[in-house]
Structure 1
C-alpha cells in the first residue's frame, strides 16, 4: 500500500484525488497541503479522506510518503519536486513539468541521484482516441507523415486571469501555449518526434489583465523537411481540438477520422475506400483502456512503481514538451526561427532568461486570492466525429 500526498488543493487536485481513489487496494491519500489550509481541508472533507492537512509541505517531513502529486503553480514545481525526490518519494508532477528547462534538468538530476521515479501529467495520452491513433501511426498504414497539425483551442473569460498567480510570466510561466496546449504538444511529440526548427507568432487579443499570450501560432520544420503547425488559444468558442496527420497514403486524426486518396491520371484525387476501411478496422480492433485520463496515468505510475520500471510519461517527456513550448516563445519573442535542441547557453534556458526576454502584453490589473470552488469545465476534443 503506497502512501500518497497531494501538494496543492486547487481545481486540478480533484482529478488526482479521484484518480488515486480508483485504486484503494494499491494506495491511500495520507496528506493534503495547500497555502490555504481550508482548501485542503475542504478536499479531505469532500472525499472523506483521513488525511493530514497542512499549509506548508515542509510540515510533512516526518511522514512516510511513497508518492507525491505536485499540483501547485508551475513556478513552485522544481523546488517541491526536488525536495520530495531527495526525501525518497516518487513524484507525479502536474503539467507543465517546471518553469524552465534548467529546472527540468535539476528535477531529472535529483530523481537520478535519489533513484526515484518522476512522471509528468500528460493525461491525454491515456485516452482511447490518442492511444489508438498512436497505434495507427505506428502501423505505417497512413504512410510517411508529411504534415502534422495540433489545434489546442480553448475559451476562457476575462476573469480567468484575475487569480493572483495566473497571467504573469513569473508565476504562471506563460499563457495557453504552456498551460493548455502542453497536452497536444506532448501528444504531437510522442507521435511525430521533435522538430528541428520553429517559427512562431503570439499575441494577447482578448485578456488585457494578463502579461502573457492568449493566442499563439507556430510553424514546425522536421529534420526530414516535412512540416507541422501548432495553434494554442483561450479565445476560441466551442473549444474544438484536434490532432491531424497527413500521410502519403491517408489522413488520420483525433477525433478519429480516416480519409485516403489515390491519384487519377490527371493528378486529382480518387477516394481509396479500401484503405479507409482498413484503417478504421485497425482502429476499432484496438482494445479500450481500463482507465482514462488522470486515472489512467495514475494507474501507469502505480504499476511502474510496483514493477520497478519507468512510466509511459517520464521526466524526459515533460522536458521535451517544455523545450518545444520554450522554442515557440523564443521565436515569437525574437522574431527569428528557433532551432532545436535548445542548449544550456540559450537565453531562454533558465527561468530568469525567460522572464528577461518574454514580452509583457498587458499589465495585470486585478488579482483575487481564490475563486469559489465551482469546478472547471473542459472540452470534449477526442470523441469520434465520423468514419471515412
Structure 2
C-alpha cells in the first residue's frame, strides 16, 4: 500500500491529537514537513513527535511528492491556504470551521470541487464510538419517526481563554461559542436529524466574559422533516458539563451525554453504551482521546487513495456553518 505523503500547516493547540493519530497511522502515511508562524513552536512540536520541520508553505506547495496538506491554522487563514493547495492539486484536511464567513467557506468548497481535490473537515466527533452507535440505532428505525431533537452544550472557558490574541474575535475566529465549540455537536445533530428549515434565536455575551463575540446562544429549531427542536450553547457554565444530544421518536428516546448513550424504548427496556474516553470539552479543551482523530484521518487517507469522497466532506461543514449563520442572523434581528 502506497503511503500518503502529507505536510502539516500549523502547530498550535489543535495539532497535538493529529500528531498522535498520525504516528499511529505511520504504516499508511508519512508526515514529510511541519510549518507554522512560530519557528520555535514548530521546532518543539516537530521534535516532540518525530516529524521533520519544513522550510515554508511555498516549499510544501512546490513539492510534487506531497499528496495532501493538513491545515490547522486559525479560521481566517483557511481560504488563501486552500486556494494555494488546490492550485497545486493537493488534497486538504481542514480544521473546523471552514473559514470565518459563509462566503469564504463556500469558496473553499467550490475551489476544491473545481480542482478535483479531496476536502475533509475535522469533525472527528462523528467517529466517536457512542456517536457511531447512536447513528446505527437511528438508521435501524429503532427510534421510529423523529419528532424532536435537541442539543444542550453547557461548557466553561475562563476569561484567560478569551484573553489570548484573536480568541473569540470576528476577524480571526468568525464568532464565539457557536463557531468554535458548539459546531462539533451541531454537526452530529444535523447528521442525525437532518437539515433545519427555520430558526428563532437569541445570542449574547454574558457578564462572565469580556469578549467580542457570543458566549451564549439559544434557538428553537424546525427541521425539514417536520421535527422540532432546540439549541442551547454556552461557555459560561462553570464548572463545565458534558454536552447532551437528544433524539425523541415515536418508538423511543435516545440521549447522548458526553460518551454515554442511553436509549429508552416504549416497552420499558433501556439500551446503554458508554465510551470510556472523555469528551474533554466540558472545561478542558484538550482532555480527550485522539482515537476519533485517528479514525477521521484514516478515512481521509483512504478517500485519497481510493478516489472517493471523505466521510465528512466540505458540504457537511457548509451545512453546519449555514445553520450557525442563520442562528446569529436571526438573533441579530431580535436585538
SS at match of 1:168: coil
Aligned mates of 2:303, 2:105 — CA distance in 1: 21
1:162 CA displacement: 1.2
- 1:99-140: CA deviation from partner (whole Å, max 9, x where unpaired): 122112211221122211001111100111001101101111
2:61 corresponds in structure 1 to 61
Counterpart secondary structure, 2:196: coil
Q: Deviations over 1:37-71 (max 9, x none)?
A: 111111111112233254xx234333232111111
Task: Give the paired residue count.
Answer: 313
In the TM superposition, structure 1's runs of 4+ consecutive aligned residues that sit over 4 Å from their partners are none
Report what 1:91 is aligned to.
92
Measure, in 1, the Cα distance between the counterparts of 2:254 and 2:55.
47
Three-state SS of the structure 2 residue aligned to 1:196 is strand
Give, in angstroms, the shift of residue 95 of structure 1: 0.7
Aligned to 2:294: 295
- Normalising by structure 2, we get a TM-score of 0.89
The DSSP-based 3-state class of the residue aligned with 1:169 is coil
Following TM superposition, by how much is the alpha carbon of 1:249 offset from its aligned partner in structure 2, in angstroms?
1.5
Superposition TM-score, scaled by structure 1 size: 0.77
CA distance, structure 1, for counterparts of residue 204 and residue 15 of structure 2:
30
**Separation of aligned partners in 2, 1:61 and 1:84:** 6
Match of 2:277 in 1: none
Aligned to 1:127: 128
CA distance in structure 1 between the partners assigned to 2:44 and 2:229 by the alignment: 44
Q: 1:7 aligns with which of 6, 9, 18?
A: 9
Q: Does residue 228 of structure 1 match 2:226?
A: no
What is the alpha-carbon distance in structure 1 between the residues aligned to residue 127 and residue 24 of structure 2? 15
The alpha carbon displacement at 1:224 in A equals 4.0
Secondary structure in structure 2 of the residue aligned to 1:3? strand
Unaligned runs of 5+ in 2: 275-289
Q: Is the 8 A contact 1:73 1:165 kept in 2?
A: no
Counterpart in 1 of 2:324?
325
Structure 2 CA distance for aligned equivalents of residues 297 and 207 of structure 1: 35
Alignment partners' CA distance in 1, 2:113 and 2:240:
43
**Structure 1 246/315 Cα, relative in aligned 2: closer, same or farther at 3 Å?**
same
The answer for the alignment partner of 1:202 in structure 2 is 203
In 2: Cα distance, 1:53 partner to 1:13 partner? 18
The structure having more radius of gyration, on CA atoms, is 1
The aligned counterpart of 1:40 is 42
Instruction: Tell me the C-alpha RMSD between the 2 structures.
Output: 1.7
Q: Distance in 2 between matches of 1:92 and 1:194?
A: 24
Distance 2:95 2:303 in 1: 17
Segments of 5+ residues of structure 1 without an aligned counterpart are: 262-271, 285-290, 336-358, 360-388
CA shift, 1:231, in A, is 1.3
Deviations 1:323-368 (A, max 9, x none): 0111111111112xxxxxxxxxxxxxxxxxxxxxxx9xxxxxxxxx
